[in-house]
């Protein structure tokens, strides 16, 4: 079992930035655990190739507070940047390891994968994000259409098919623009107009408005299997069949996972202070799980704040 000063769960932007901040402050025995085969699994899985990664995500400007930062660039450039941080700061990551339990042992915590004790850490940083649990619609998805319904991008994007995208955020807008011209694209959003989409994406949607059919103010009531396609029944009585449906409804906080670890919740939000420290002393939450609407810059800054706080509150960690 590894004995660590800081054990970080999740090697996305938040976890990597926490590793960088710890290493820069001379903290020894820092280790990341990542359930995917590579770092930034969420970004690799959910961002389409060449996606523009916005620094001011959802139109919110976040001033960089710590070491990690970036300017708007492509997915591939962003992943290169993260790889360089890992190399430059000699960040140690163990891949293919899902941590799903914490157990208190004296002043430390044991990080567990099932019944296996993986590491003992004095400080734990949980940076697991929210996108492992995509939000799902309230109506059931019939078994017969399940393979036509997606909550993340499939390996191969559809071509020449009739596609419905459900959602009104940047992810829905970017996917609609990506598929416009290649597929017959429909976009269903329950509000009468977009209000969460950033300027760039609004402009892109405007440019492609001939290629995208908008169902604004539309609510889906149910899905049915119909002649090898998915029939969508809308609340207004109209129905239409599609070859595939992509839900872009965002992610949700992994409440059960965190509660099992002993993290308290109030109003469905984890109870943390302004630095991300939870009700469990020396257990910090950073990145998407620590905030309602996350972004990469927020993830970077939350890592910086947590590590700064750790050093102020627990100065002995530099000696461990
Ligand atoms: C389609 C899409 C487009 C987006 N575009 C932008 C954009 O342009 N600009 C922007 O700023 N933000 C964007 N975002 C949001 C941004 O991706 C997130 O805010 C950011 O990735 C949060 O970083 P994180 O490290 O908190 O979580 P994540 O990036 O989700 O990383 C969490 C990591 O933890 C790992 N993990 C999860 N559970 C465990 C476990 N139990 N054990 C070990 N490892 C675990 C995961 O595999 C993953 O690698 C977008 C999001 C999506 C879905």
CA of 45 to the centre of ligand 1 (A): 10
Q: What is the pLDDT of residues 36-63, one digit of tens each?
A: 999 999 999 999 999 999 999 988 889 9
pLDDT of 195 above 90: no
The CATH class for the domain spanning 2-132+251-318 reads alpha beta
Query: Which of 284 and 260 is assigned the larger pLDDT?
Result: 284
In the chain, what is the straight-line distance between the N-terminal and C-terminal CA atoms, in Å? 17
Instruction: Give the C-alpha separation, 320 to 308, whole Å.
Output: 17
Task: Assign 200 a pLDDT band (cuts: 50, 70, 90).
Answer: confident
Q: Whose CA is nearest to atom 16 of ligand 1?
A: 295
State mean pLDDT over 62-77. 97
For residue 248, what pLDDT is reported? 94
From residue 214, how far is each of 58, 177, 193, 194, 311 by CA, in Å?
Answer: 21, 12, 10, 11, 51
* Tokens 């469990």, residue located: 280
Q: Domain locations in the chain?
A: 2-132+251-318, 143-247
CB under 8 Å to 317, separation ≥6 — which residues? 5, 6, 27, 122, 123, 310, 311
Task: Assign 320 a pLDDT band (cuts: 50, 70, 90).
Answer: confident
CA of 42 to the centre of ligand 1 (A): 5
> Hey, what long-range contacts does 89-93 have (CB within 8 A, 24 or more apart)?
89/19, 89/20, 89/23, 89/24, 90/23, 91/16, 91/19, 91/20, 91/23, 91/30, 91/32, 92/19, 92/30, 92/31, 92/32, 93/11, 93/19, 93/31, 93/32, 93/33, 93/34, 93/39
The CATH class for the domain spanning 143-247 reads alpha beta
Looking from the CA of residue 302, the nearest atom of ligand 1 is 26
Fold agreement (2-132+251-318, 143-247): yes
CA of 212 to the centre of ligand 1 (A): 28
Model pTM?
0.88
Q: What is the pLDDT of residues 209-231, one digit of tens each?
A: 999 999 999 999 999 999 999 99
Q: What is the pLDDT of residues 257-267, one digit of tens each?
A: 899 899 999 98
CA of 289 to the centre of ligand 1 (A): 9
For residue 236, what pLDDT is reported? 93
């Amino acid at each position: 079992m590894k004995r660590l000063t800081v054990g970080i769960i999740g090697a996305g932007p938040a976890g990597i930035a926490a590793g960088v901040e710890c290493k820069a402050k001379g903290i020894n025995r820092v280790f990341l655990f990542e359930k995917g085969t590579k770092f930034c699994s969420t970004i690799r899985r959910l961002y389409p190739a060449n996606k523009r990664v916005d620094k001011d995500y959802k139109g919110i400007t976040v001033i960089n507070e710590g070491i990690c930062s970036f300017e708007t660039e492509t997915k591939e450039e962003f992943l290169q940047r993260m790889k360089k941080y890992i190399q430059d700061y000699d960040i140690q990551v163990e891949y293919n390891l899902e941590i799903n339990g914490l157990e208190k042992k004296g002043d430390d915590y044991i990080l567990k994968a099932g019944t296996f004790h993986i590491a003992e850490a004095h400080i734990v940083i949980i940076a697991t994000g929210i996108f492992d649990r995509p939000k799902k619609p309230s109506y059931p998805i019939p078994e017969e259409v399940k393979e036509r319904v997606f909550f993340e991008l499939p390996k191969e994007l559809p071509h020449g098919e009739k596609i419905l995208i459900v959602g009104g955020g940047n992810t829905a807008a970017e996917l609609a623009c990506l598929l416009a011209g290649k597929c017959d694209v429909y976009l269903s959003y329950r509000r009468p107009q977009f209000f969460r989409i950033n300027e760039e994406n609004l402009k892109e949607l405007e440019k492609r408005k001939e290629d995208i059919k908008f169902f604004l103010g539309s609510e889906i009531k149910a899905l049915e299997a119909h002649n090898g396609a998915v029939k969508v029944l809308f609340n207004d009585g109209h129905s239409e069949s599609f070859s595939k449906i992509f839900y872009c409804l965002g992610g949700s906080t992994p409440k059960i996972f965190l509660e099992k670890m002993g993290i308290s919740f109030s109003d469905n939000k984890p109870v943390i202070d302004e630095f991300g420290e939870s009700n469990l002393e020396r257990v910090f939450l950073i990145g998407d799980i620590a905030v309602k609407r996350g972004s990469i810059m927020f993830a970077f800054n939350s890592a910086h704040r947590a590590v700064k706080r750790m050093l102020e509150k627990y100065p002995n960690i530099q000696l461990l």
